[in-house]
Amino acid sequence: MVVNGKTKITGIFGYPIEHTLSPLMHNSAFRELGLDMCYIPFKVSPEDLPVAVNAIRSLHLEGVNITVPHKEHVIPFLDKVDEEAAFIGAVNTITNNEGILTGFNTDGRGFMSSLTEESVSVENREVVMIGTGGAARAVSYYLSEKASKLSMFDIDRNKADTLVSDLGKIRNNVYVLDSPDIIGNPDILINATPLGLHDEDPLPVNADLISSEMVVCDLIYRRTPLLHNASEKGAKTVDGSGMLLWQGVLAFELWTGVKPPVETMRQQLLSGIR
| 154-167 pLDDT, tens digit each | 999 999 999 999 99
Question: What average pLDDT score do residues 231-247 get?
Answer: 96
Q: How far apart are CA 139 and CA 242, in angstroms?
A: 13
Q: Which of 6, 43, 71, 80 is catalytic?
A: 71
- Which residues lie closer than 8 Å to 1 by C-beta, 6 or more apart? 27, 30, 31, 38
Burial 156-174 (b: 16+ CB within 10 A, else e): eeebbebbbebbeeebebb
Q: What is the pLDDT of residues 31-63, one digit of tens each?
A: 999 999 999 999 999 999 999 999 999 999 999
Terminal CA-to-CA distance of the chain, rounded, Å?
24
Helix, strand or coil for residue 87? helix
pLDDT digits (tens, 9 = 90+) for 57-93: 999 999 999 998 999 999 999 999 999 999 889 999 9
User: Does the pLDDT at position 274 exceed 80?
Assistant: no
- Which amino acid is present at 29? A
The model's pTM: 0.92
Work out the mean pLDDT of the chain and round it to a whole number. 95
The alpha carbon of 60 is separated from its chain's Cα centroid by a whole number of angstroms, namely 26
Annotated active-site residue 149? The verdict is: no
Which amino acid makes up residue 50? Answer: P
Q: Which domains does the chain have, with CATH numbers?
A: 8-105+242-273 (3.40.50.10860), 109-239 (3.40.50.720)
Confidence of residue 216 (pLDDT cuts 50, 70, 90): very high
**Has residue 222 got a pLDDT over 90?**
no
What mean pLDDT is predicted for residues 202-226?
95
